[in-house]
Amino acid sequence: MIGRLLIVDDEEIALHNLQHVMERAGYEVSATQNGAQAISLLGAQTFDVVLTDLRMEGVDGMDVLKKSRALQPEAEVIFITGFATAESAVQALKHGAFYYIAKPFRLDEVRKVVAEALAKVLLRRENDALRREVEHYRDGEGIVTQDADMQRLLGMAQQIAPTDCSVLITGESGTGKELFAKFVHKQSLRRDGPYTAVNCGAFSEQLLTNELFGHEKGAFTGAIALKKGLIEVASGGTLFLDEVTEMPPSMQVKLLRVLQEKEVLRVGGTRAVKCDVRILAATNRDVTEAVKNGSFREDLYFRLNVVNLNIPPLSQRKGDIPLLAQHFLLKFSARMNKPVTRISPEVLDALMGYAYPGNVRELENMIERGTAMAQGDTIELTHLPEQLQQAGNFSLRKIDGAFPTLEVQEREYIRRVLEEVKGNQTAAAQILGINRASLWRKLKAQQAEEEAPD
Ligand SMILES: Nc1ncnc2c1ncn2[C@@H]1O[C@H](COP(=O)(O)OP(=O)(O)OP(=O)(O)O)[C@@H](O)[C@H]1O
Ligand SMILES: [Mg+2]
C-alpha cells in the first residue's frame, strides 16, 4: 500500500526537497508551507504520516500535532526542527509525536523514520481490522470462526440444540469439541439447567461407575451414605461425556439403558430413578473403527450419533488462524493486564505456515506464551517457540535451474494461499496482507496475462 504523507514546512526549498524525495520513495505526498492549511488538509483527507516543521509563524508544529491527534489518531506525526533542544523533544514525544528529527538531517534518515512510522500505522490498522473481524465472527459462546465448514457446523448445532437428541462430537484433539458441547447446551432449552462434564478416560471402571451412576447407602464397604451419580445430578440439564470411546464395555450397556429408559439404577439399588438428561458425547478417536474392532458397542454408537458434529482440524481452516490469534491475544492481554495488542507480520506468517498437531489449543498456548514474553505492544517472532519460528522461514527454490521472478513467485504464492483457504478471497487477502480490492486486481491481471496469446 502507498503511504499517504503530509509535509508541512514554512521554508519553501526544504519543503520541495522533502516532497521530491518522498514522492520518489513512492509516497503520495501533500505539501504545504502553512500550518493553518495543514490543519484544514487534516480535516479533509486521510494521512498515514505527518512530517512537520516545529517552528513556524502562526500555527506551529505543535498545533499541527495536536490537531492531527484529534482528527486522525491513527496517523503518526514526525517533527523536524532547526531549534532542537532536549526540552522541546521531550514535549513533542509527550504529546504523542512518533519521532523528532533535528536539522540538518540526512534525507535517508528521514526516509527511514517515515518508513518506520508508516509500518507502525499499517500494522495497527491491520490489527484493528482483525479485531473488528473477531468481534464480527465471534458468536455468543466465544466460538471464533470465518470458515464456511465451521459456520455450517455451528448452524447445525444451533438447529439441533433445542431438541433433546444426542450429539456425538468428533474431531482431533484441541479442535473445540468441548466448546461446541457448551454451545449446544447454552442454545438449548436446558440452558438454565446444569451442564456437567465427565471425562470417561480419566477414571478406573469402578470409580467411573460410581461417578456416573452413584450408589445406595451400604452398596459396598465405605458407602456410608446415598450418593447421586452425575447422570442424576445433571437431570434437567446436559451431561457431556468426553472421551466416550474410553468407556468400559460393562458401562456402555448401562449407559445405553439410561438413554433408552431415561432412568438410572444406582449401584446397589433395586429401583430405577427417573432422570431427564440430555447426553452429548465426544471423542478424538475413530468411532467407526472402535465399533468395528468391538471396543465400542454399535447400538450405543447409533444412540449417541443421532447427530454428528465433526470438527475440522485447524490446518484445514487456515483462514481462522489470524482471527483466533487475535482473539486469544485479546483474552490473554486482558488476563495478564499487559498492553500487548499487536502481532507482527512475521509472526502471522509463521503462524500461517505451521501445521498445528494440537489444533486450536496449541495456537492458544502459543499466543499465551507470546503475550507473556512480549515486552512492548507487539508479539514478535522471538517470543514464539522454536518450532514455530522455523515454520515461518522462507525457502528459496529454483525452478528449471533458475530463480523465479518476483511476479511468478507472487502468482504461485497467491494461488497457494487461495487453495489453502478454499478460494475465500477475504481470508486470502488477510493472509497476504493486502486488501481485497488489491487481491482482486492482481487476480484480474494474472488472468489477463494467462489469456493473452504469446
Ligand atoms: N473456534 C474457536 N474459537 C475460540 N476458541 C476456541 C475455538 N476452538 C477451540 N477453542 C479453544 O481452544 C481450546 C481447546 O478447545 P476444546 O477444549 O473445546 O477442544 P477439544 O476438542 O475438546 O480438545 P480435546 O480433544 O483435547 O479434549 C479451548 O481453550 C477452547 O476455548
Ligand atoms: Mg475436550
Tell me the average pLDDT of the chain: 89
pLDDT-derived band at 4, boundaries 50, 70, 90: very high
Sign of the Cα pseudo-torsion (18, 21, 24, 26, in order): negative
43/207 Cα distance (integer angstroms)? 70
Residues with Cβ within 8 Å of residue 435, at least 6 apart in sequence:
1, 429
Work out the percent of the chain whose per-residue pLDDT is above 70. 95
Q: Are residues 130 and 66 in the same domain?
A: yes
Residue 431 is assigned to a structural domain of this protein: yes
* Pocket flag, ligand 1, residue 176 (CB < 6 Å): yes
* Pocket flag, ligand 1, residue 197 (CB < 6 Å): no
For the segment 204-222, what is each residue's pLDDT rounded down to a tens digit?
888 899 999 999 998 888 8
Helices (H) and strands (E) in the chain, counts: 19, 16
Q: Is the pLDDT of residue 310 over 70?
A: yes
Q: Is the pLDDT of residue 122 over 90?
A: no
Q: Is the pLDDT of residue 453 over 80?
A: no
In ligand 1, the atom with minimum distance to the C-alpha of 172 is 25
Q: Are residues 339 and 211 in the same domain?
A: no
pLDDT-derived band at 165, boundaries 50, 70, 90: very high
For the segment 393-410, what is each residue's pLDDT rounded down to a tens digit?
444 455 566 766 777 778
> Is 85 buried (19+), middle (13-18) or exposed (0-12) by CB count in 10 A?
exposed
Q: Is the pLDDT of residue 199 over 90?
A: yes
Model pLDDT, residue 395? 46
| Ligand 1 centroid distance, CA of 440 (Å) | 34
pTM: 0.71
Model pLDDT, residue 84? 65
Residue 399 is assigned to a structural domain of this protein: no
Q: Are residues 61 and 121 in the same domain?
A: yes
* Pocket flag, ligand 1, residue 145 (CB < 6 Å): yes
Residue range(s) defining the domain that contains residue 359: 316-391
| Span of 380-389, 390-399, 418-427 with lowest mean pLDDT | 390-399
Mean pLDDT along residues 309-317:
96
Question: How many domains are contained in the chain?
Answer: 4
Residue 142 is assigned to a structural domain of this protein: no
Residue 397 is assigned to a structural domain of this protein: no
CATH of the domain at 112: 3.40.50.2300
Model pLDDT, residue 296? 95
In ligand 1, the atom with minimum distance to the C-alpha of 327 is 4
Ligand 1 atom 26: the closest Cα is on which residue? 173
Q: Are residues 77 and 23 in the same domain?
A: yes
Q: Is the pLDDT of residue 198 over 60?
A: yes
Q: Are residues 167 and 300 in the same domain?
A: yes
| Ligand 2 centroid distance, CA of 151 (Å) | 20
237/188 Cα distance (integer angstroms)? 9
Ligand 1 atom 18: the closest Cα is on which residue? 176
90/105 Cα distance (integer angstroms)? 19
Q: What share of the chain is helix, strand, coil (3-state, %, to 5)?
A: 50, 15, 35
Ligand 1 atom 30: the closest Cα is on which residue? 176
Q: Is the pLDDT of residue 223 over 80?
A: yes
Q: Are residues 416 and 370 in the same domain?
A: no
Residue 226 is assigned to a structural domain of this protein: yes
* Domain endpoint, select from 271, 296, 312: 312
| Ligand 2 centroid distance, CA of 325 (Å) | 20
Model pLDDT, residue 140? 67
pLDDT-derived band at 380, boundaries 50, 70, 90: very high
The owner of cell 481462522 is 320
Model pLDDT, residue 232? 93
* Domain endpoint, select from 312, 331, 359: 312
> Is 188 buried (19+), middle (13-18) or exposed (0-12) by CB count in 10 A?
buried
Residue 396 is assigned to a structural domain of this protein: no
Encode 192-213 in three state secondary structure.
Answer: CCCEEEEECCCCCHHHHHHHHH
Model pLDDT, residue 27? 93
Residue 120 is assigned to a structural domain of this protein: yes
Residue 331 is assigned to a structural domain of this protein: yes
Q: Are residues 52 and 158 in the same domain?
A: no
84/105 Cα distance (integer angstroms)? 12
Model pLDDT, residue 397? 52
CATH of the domain at 414: 1.10.10
Q: Is the pLDDT of residue 150 over 90?
A: yes
Q: Are residues 301 and 331 in the same domain?
A: no
Q: Are residues 333 and 303 in the same domain?
A: no
**Amino acid identity at 371:** T
Work out the percent of the chain whose per-residue pLDDT is above 90. 61
Residues with Cβ within 8 Å of residue 26, at least 6 apart in sequence:
2, 3
| Ligand 1 centroid distance, CA of 365 (Å) | 11
In ligand 1, the atom with minimum distance to the C-alpha of 180 is 18
Q: Are residues 335 and 282 in the same domain?
A: no
* Pocket flag, ligand 1, residue 177 (CB < 6 Å): yes
Task: Residue 301: count other Cβ atoms within 10 Å of its Cβ.
Answer: 19
For the segment 42-95, what is each residue's pLDDT rounded down to a tens digit?
999 999 999 999 888 889 999 999 999 999 998 999 998 877 677 777 888 888
- Taking each helix axis from N to C end, the angle separating 436-451 and 406-420, rounded to the nearest 10 degrees, works out to 120
The answer to whether the beta carbons of residues 245 and 232 sit under 8 Å apart is no
Q: Is the pLDDT of residue 142 over 90?
A: no
Out of 246, 361, 367, mutate this one to test ligand 1's pocket (max ligand atoms within 8 Å of CB): namely 361
| Ligand 1 centroid distance, CA of 176 (Å) | 3
Q: Are residues 90 and 178 in the same domain?
A: no
Q: Are residues 97 and 23 in the same domain?
A: yes
* Pocket flag, ligand 1, residue 171 (CB < 6 Å): yes
Q: Is the pLDDT of residue 418 over 50?
A: yes
CATH of the domain at 224: 3.40.50.300
Mean pLDDT along residues 426-454:
78
* Domain endpoint, select from 288, 312, 336: 312
H or E, element range at 80? strand 76-81
Surrounding residues of ion ligand 2, Cβ less than 5 A: 178
Model pLDDT, residue 169? 98
In ligand 1, the atom with minimum distance to the C-alpha of 242 is 27
H or E, element range at 171? strand 167-171
Q: Is the pLDDT of residue 390 over 70?
A: no
